[in-house]
Structure 1
Amino acid sequence: MDEILAETGIRTVLTGIRIPRMNSIMERWVQSCRHELLDRCLLWNEHHLRHALCEYEHFYNQHRAHQALNQAAPLRSVPDPITDPERIIDLNIRRRDRLGGVLHEYSHAA
């Protein structure tokens, strides 16, 4: 298998010997990517796939809420909660579609 991958230009990366969680972390990311992106897209070619994966990577790290991180994203902290009832009533939420509406980002309008 390594020879077949090497012929196509794919470099094999081995997991660490004493790092049992390494595979589980990548398997979870691949599962999330498949369910949230690849199962909802019709990809035309390798360039389109790479573009979609780049967009998903940015979405996953910058915007998507993660339960293990207390609803924060890996590269973004959780904003301070809004406790003032007047501000809660007048919230103006904006939605930004990514990849033609497959991914949605929500934010407060300034």
Structure 2
Amino acid sequence: MALRLLYLIFLRLVGLLVLLGRSPASKEVELLVLRHEVTVLRRGNPKPRLDWADRAVFAALVRPLPNGLRTHRLVTPGTILRWHRRLVAAKWTDPHRGVRPRVDEAVAGLIERMARENHRWGVQEDSG
């Protein structure tokens, strides 16, 4: 038990030394990210739901964080990439894909006339 306590104290001291070496801007960005995470988690849902504003804040703030801190956030770089892929897919997916354009009536009439005049035109049934 005492060894574990010494280990935890050692970890905190090393963390403090690392923190002292970081720039003030980096520390402020981390505080902003942590505050926003706390705000999202306080909403009371068992699984926090992020709206577009939360996503925008996290996407903007997670970039300047050091790599070690990015991976342990509520929103990881993989999450940001997934949001981006979904956004691009929604933007560039054609909802009318697979729907044929209407055929002009004159063209449809010409096709029907050609079918009547040429009995062997189109799909041939094998009578053999």
Same fold (TM over 0.5): no
Larger radius of gyration: 2
Per residue, is there more helix in 1 or in 2?
Answer: 2
Per residue, is there more strand in 1 or in 2?
Answer: 1
TM-score range, shorter chain: 0.3 to 0.5
TM-score, scaled to structure 2: 0.32
